[in-house]
Amino acid sequence: MLTLPFDEPHMICEPRFGANYPRDSSPESLEQEQRHNPDRASSVMREAEDDISDREDDDRDDDQDEDGLPKKRGPRKKKGKEQMDRSKLRRQEANARERSRMHGLNAALESLRRVVPCYSKTQKLSKIETLRLAKNYIWALSETLSAGKRPDLLAFVQTLCKGLSQPTTNLVAGCLQLNARNFLTDHNGEVMFSGRSPYDAMYSYPGSDMNTPPGHSGSGLDSSAKPFRHYSYSGAYEPYYENPSPESGSPHFDSQLSPPMNFNGIFSLKHDDPPDYGKSSHYGMRYCSAPGRTALAHNSMYRVSPEARFPYDLHVRSQSFQAQGEVNGSYHN
Which of 77, 124, 196, 309 binds DNA (CB under 7 A)? It is 124
Q: Spell 235-258 as b/e; 16+ CB within 10 A means b.
A: bebbbbbeeeeeeeebbbbbeebb
Candidate ranges 41-49, 190-198, 227-235, 266-274; the one touching DNA (CB under 7 A):
41-49
In DSSP notation, 258-276 reads PPEEEETTEEEE--S--TT
Cα(235)–Cα(240) distance, integer angstroms: 12
DSSP state of 22: -
Cα(285)–Cα(275) distance, integer angstroms: 15
Between residues 12 and 140, which has the closer beta carbon with respect to DNA? 12
Which of 62, 83, 102, 224 binds DNA (CB under 7 A)? It is 102
Cα(245)–Cα(260) distance, integer angstroms: 17
Which of 28, 39, 186, 247 binds DNA (CB under 7 A)? It is 39
For the window 10-29, what string marks contact with DNA as x by the rule CB under 7 A?
---------x----------
CB 212 within 8 Å of CB 204? no
Which of 23, 55, 78, 91 binds DNA (CB under 7 A)? It is 91
Contact flag: residue 256 with DNA (CB under 7 A): no
Between residues 96 and 288, which has the closer beta carbon with respect to DNA? 96
Cα(39)–Cα(26) distance, integer angstroms: 17
> Could you tell me the smallest distance in angstroms from the CB atom of residue 136 to DNA?
16
Longest alpha-carbon distance in the chain: 97
Handedness of CA 42, 44, 46, 49 (dihedral sign): negative
Between residues 166 and 224, which has the closer beta carbon with respect to DNA? 166
Between residues 95 and 250, which has the closer beta carbon with respect to DNA? 95
Helices and strands (H and E) in the chain: how many: 9, 6
For the window 137-176, what string marks contact with DNA as x by the rule CB under 7 A?
----------------------------x-----------
Residues that bind DNA (CB under 7 A): 1-4, 6, 19, 37-40, 42-44, 46-47, 50, 90-99, 101-103, 106, 124, 126-129, 165
